[in-house]
Chains A and B, each alone.
Chain A
Amino acid sequence: MVRRMSHGARAALFAPLDQTGRVEAVTRRLVDAITLGLLADAEQLPAETDLAAQLGVSTVTVREALVALRQLGLVETRRGRGGGSFVRTPADSPMAPWRERLRAVSLADLRDVGDQYTAVAGAAAKLAAERSSADDLARLELAAEDIRAATGPAASRAERHFHLEVAAAAQSPRLTHQELLLQGEQGGLLWLPITHRTDDRPDDRGEHREAGYAVHAAIVTAIGHGDGELARKLTEEHILDAIDRLVVLHLELIDP
């Protein structure tokens, strides 16, 4: 069957873009969508004119972005009847495009994304502590358990799902929407299923996972106790830790 994406995520994907750096922005958004699995392998992209209209850019911009995607091997274009542009999910190394993005990102931008994400997720955690019912807490506990159990891309999904649940527990559609938008674009970098040096030392993986679980369990406990300030503080520190890991990784990836 056709893989279907979240309504909110799809809305974020096709939200209008700023007019600056349009080709790059369109390319990046589509690269993200493909590597994150928002667009499924072999899924047909909308026609160039439709895509342009949805993203609020010119057809020429979309065409150039598609050229870039073809060069990255993420899109295949077939001509003639039944033709069009089709997604090609990289089979061998799904994280390779992320590494490329992490290499290309600037630390200034990373800090800025971190600031915005901290504002959104921190505020959501504080409000969740004030407003969570027993049901909300039960779902947060399940979401934290998922993080303990998950590895690789599933860990990234579990992490993002946890923060989505916190925003929902805050009873705020707007914070939830912000969370989804950030997860769908730059913020997606934050929860990459790659962690510092674990590629070299596989033994660290389990340890890292337990530590990650402990942080989330502590956030849930603070929310359960109605301690908004602590929930916010733990969430902010958690995000800063994620940024720290990305900065270290970025420094390892940049060309000498």
Chain B
Amino acid sequence: MDDTRPRPGDEVVAQVSGIVEGVFAGLKPLLAAAETLLAEPGDTTGPDLDRLRPQVVEQLAGLVVGAGFIAAPGLLADQEFGFEWWTASGGGTPTQLFISLDPTSEYFLDYTRQSWFTVPRDTGRRHITGPYVDYLCTDEYTLTFSLPVNGAAGFAGVVGADVFVREFEHTTLPKLRTLAMARDGRAALVNAQGRVIVSTASRQATGSLVRELDIPAWWTTGEESLACPGTTLRRCGDAPIALLVTAD
């Protein structure tokens, strides 16, 4: 779009874009550390992943409450599955996550079906999963930012960072509210599937899907924005999040 005049929602778009790019940029040192570790001669084992701990724990600041490296199945020499994942919220002490990694265990949950793993694996690109219930880790409503990690044999896993939806809301809702009031309507942030992340309207609640517009179809067109009577939809920069403003 050539029109560079300020538009309503610019502040929201800039803020969301800033948050997203900040989280992904923050993951770069962890990505580099993981790829360096995997590039070392010889096999990589589960215990070797402990060496990523400083870069993992470093992630746990600001909105990021969980972070780590998740290995692709078969990557490690001594175990099928493996990861180095730590969580900390509200400035608390970082805690390492342990979940069942034994496929024969009663409580094993296969992480290779989760979008934060499959999308970077299948597309080679960064991804934001959610909002979704993260029953593997914190049982919280979460956004997971993930990047593919490459080893000698291609895809080797992902590095990722978790942001709780409630914290994302606390950060973004003030500007959304200002926008909604100025437009005399409601404003929401939605993901590429049309799922509401934050909204100023109780009947357009977090977690619900926007049905009035086919947002997944619009997303695949690559259009920067969509305007129809009473509704505007606009991408937040390169983030897979859009701003939806609806007149009441």
Residues of A bordering B, CB below 8 Å = 1, 3-11, 36-38, 40, 130-131, 133-135, 139, 142, 153, 156-157, 161, 164, 167-168, 171-173, 176-177, 180
Contact = CB atoms under 8 A, between A and B. Distances in A.
A156 B46 CA distance: 29
B208 to A, nearest CB: 6
B115 interface: yes
B139 interface: yes
Contacts of A153: 106
Q: Chain B contact residues: over half helix, strand or loop, or mixed?
A: loop
A135 B115 contact: yes
6 contacts: A5-B99, A36-B106, A135-B115, A135-B193, A157-B108, A176-B139
Contacts of B107: 5-6, 9, 36-38, 157
Interface string B107-132: 11100010100000000000000011
Given A134-B216, A135-B193, A8 B106 contact: no
B101 A4 contact: yes
B208 A131 contact: yes
B79 interface: yes
A168 B135 CA distance: 7
Contacts of B131: 171
A176 B207 CA distance: 14
Contacts of A168: 132-133, 135
A161 B79 CA distance: 23
Given A1-B101, A133-B195, A172-B133, A6 B109 contact: yes
B167 interface: no
Interface of B: 46, 78-79, 97-102, 105-109, 113, 115, 131-133, 135-141, 193-195, 206-209, 216
The 10 closest A-B pairs by CB, nearest first: A171-B207, A37-B106, A4-B98, A168-B133, A133-B193, A176-B133, A6-B107, A3-B102, A36-B106, A8-B139
A164 B135 contact: yes
Contact of B135 (A40, A130, A131, A176): A176
A7 B207 contact: no
A131 B132 CA distance: 11
A193 to B, nearest CB: 10
B144 to A, nearest CB: 13
A54 B201 CA distance: 41
Greatest chain B CB density within 10 A among A8, A36, A142, A164 is at: A8
A1 B101 CA distance: 9
A180 B208 contact: no
B98 A7 contact: yes
B209 A131 contact: yes
